[in-house]
């Protein structure tokens, strides 16, 4: 029966190649782009999709799943015994409580609003806790329900235009903090509700820094949705940079750092596209902005700083699939100077990607071990780390296989 809709790769028992083609098309990705991401030729992709080549071995399947941002490996393979979450984490125990606070419809008379200064101090402490805690989702997950409710009520009970704008800024900040908790959780619709609410509250606040933070996170949400959303990611980042540009000559450190973080995001998205020149050009611009900041400065939300630029360079090189350059940048970056534990763990994961891309599996596993030491919850919810561990758990080298399996069991990718 004719239909103008795509077939669903999860309903009928269809071949691996057909599933791959449907998922690739849904992501708005060409064969050439997918081929580059998995280290194959476009003709190879075409032959797999056409059924002339059978399903490849697990390491290549994992790379395809990573490139297509497939949340569950079974969606690509059709084999329910391979039902492994990759880019969706296991679901945090505090997710239901945070969701309830986000979903609840607050009333102006429900509770008395906390003083503005008190709410601001609680948010400052929450950001600090996120950066210093190894299990940062557990910590901020405990704080978020009350923060969200109090911020909502503060907006409803504001008695002046100025007070309402301040309250909207605090509400947007609470939603921004929520996005760090909700990333890679098994409820993408909840994440997008928070992204949109944060943007609306930021606009209502008319505060440049608040608007910039909300836009920075919205751009990441678009980019993480796949190649078909890269233009939306760039649009958010570029338009916000234009908004901030007139303010930068007299800007303080926080606003300057935020502009630098947005510049880097444009470069990151370009790297995901495979655009070498644009990626490094925006990294250079961001680096120049970082160099204008004090050496010990660290942005409380974006982590933008002089210290993080080396880590950003590793990510750019990895996304460009430049193995040798990735390792060179990893060797030059100093993870110990990054004060945020989750950001330091993220850098170690990117370092692991660099080493694996360069064929150095043992070094990749060592970096993942350091990521686990820095922040276990970061590696537990990171799809790249999960993919590397699953791939190396199938290694022919017994020592690598054992090491990968032990760490995978620790983070819950494999049963202990």
Specify the pTM: 0.83
Euclidean distance between CA atoms 328 and 32, whole angstroms: 27
The neighbour count for residue 284, using CB atoms within 10 Å, is 12
Task: Report pLDDT for 415.
Answer: 45
The neighbour count for residue 154, using CB atoms within 10 Å, is 23
pLDDT over threshold 80, residue 317: yes
Vertex 330: Cα angle to 286 and 130 (nearest 5): 65
Per the model's pLDDT, the better-predicted residue between 69 and 145 turns out to be 145
Delimit the domains of the chain by residue range.
16-82, 91-206, 307-416
Euclidean distance between CA atoms 247 and 46, whole angstroms: 50
Task: Report pLDDT for 5.
Answer: 38
Per the model's pLDDT, the better-predicted residue between 167 and 185 turns out to be 167
Average the pLDDT over each of 63-77, 174-188, 397-411 and give the range with the smallest value. 63-77
Q: Residue 341: pLDDT band by 50, 70, 90 thresholds?
A: very high
Q: CATH classification of 307-416 is 1.25.40, yes or no?
A: yes
Q: CATH classification of 16-82 is 1.10.260.40, yes or no?
A: yes
- Give per-residue pLDDT as tens, 283-312: 999 999 999 999 999 999 999 999 999 999
Q: Residue 4: pLDDT band by 50, 70, 90 thresholds?
A: very low
Q: Residue 414: pLDDT band by 50, 70, 90 thresholds?
A: low
Average the pLDDT over each of 162-166, 169-173, 392-396 and give the range with the smallest value. 392-396
pLDDT over threshold 80, residue 86: no
């Amino acid at each position: 029966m004719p239909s103008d809709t795509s077939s669903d790769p999860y309903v009928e028992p269809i071949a691996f190649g057909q599933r791959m083609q449907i998922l690739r098309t849904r992501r708005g990705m060409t064969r050439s782009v997918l081929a580059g991401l998995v280290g194959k030729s476009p003709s190879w992709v075409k032959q797999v999709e056409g059924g002339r080549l059978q399903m490849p071995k697990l390491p290549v399947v994992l790379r395809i799943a990573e490139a297509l941002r497939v949340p569950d490996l079974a969606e690509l393979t059709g084999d329910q015994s391979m039902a492994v979450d990759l880019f969706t984490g296991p679901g945090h125990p505090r997710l239901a409580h945070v969701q309830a606070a986000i979903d609840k419809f607050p009333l102006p008379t429900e509770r008395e609003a906390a003083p503005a200064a008190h709410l601001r101090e609680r948010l400052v402490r929450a950001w600090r806790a996120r950066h210093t805690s190894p299990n940062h989702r557990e910590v901020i997950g405990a704080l978020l329900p009350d923060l969200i409710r109090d911020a909502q009520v503060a907006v409803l009970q504001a008695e002046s235009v100025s007070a309402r704008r301040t309250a909207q800024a605090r509400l947007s900040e609470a939603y921004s903090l929520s996005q760090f908790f909700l990333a890679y959780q098994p409820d993408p619709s909840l994440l997008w509700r928070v992204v949109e609410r944060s943007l609306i509250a930021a606009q209502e606040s008319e505060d440049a820094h608040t608007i910039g933070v909300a836009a920075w996170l919205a751009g990441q949400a678009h980019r993480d949705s796949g190649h078909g959303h890269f233009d939306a990611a760039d649009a958010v980042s570029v338009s916000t940079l234009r908004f901030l540009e007139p303010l930068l000559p007299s800007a303080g450190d926080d606003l300057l750092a935020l502009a630098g973080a947005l510049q880097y995001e444009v470069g990151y998205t370009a790297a995901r596209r495979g655009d070498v020149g644009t990626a490094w050009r925006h990294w250079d611009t961001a680096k120049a902005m970082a160099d204008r900041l004090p050496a010990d400065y660290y942005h409380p939300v974006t982590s933008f700083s002089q210290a993080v630029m080396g880590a950003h360079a590793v990510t750019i090189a990895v996304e460009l699939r430049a193995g040798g350059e990735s390792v060179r940048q990893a060797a030059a970056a100093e993870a110990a100077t990054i004060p945020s534990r989750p950001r330091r763990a993220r850098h170690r994961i990117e370092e692991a990607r660099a080493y694996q891309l360069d064929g150095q599996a043992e070094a990749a596993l060592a970096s993942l071990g350091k990521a686990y030491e820095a922040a276990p919850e970061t590696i537990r919810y990171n799809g790249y780390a999960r993919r590397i561990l699953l791939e190396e758990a199938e290694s022919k080298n017994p020592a690598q296989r054992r090491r990968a399996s032990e760490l995978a069991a620790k983070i819950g990718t494999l049963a202990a």
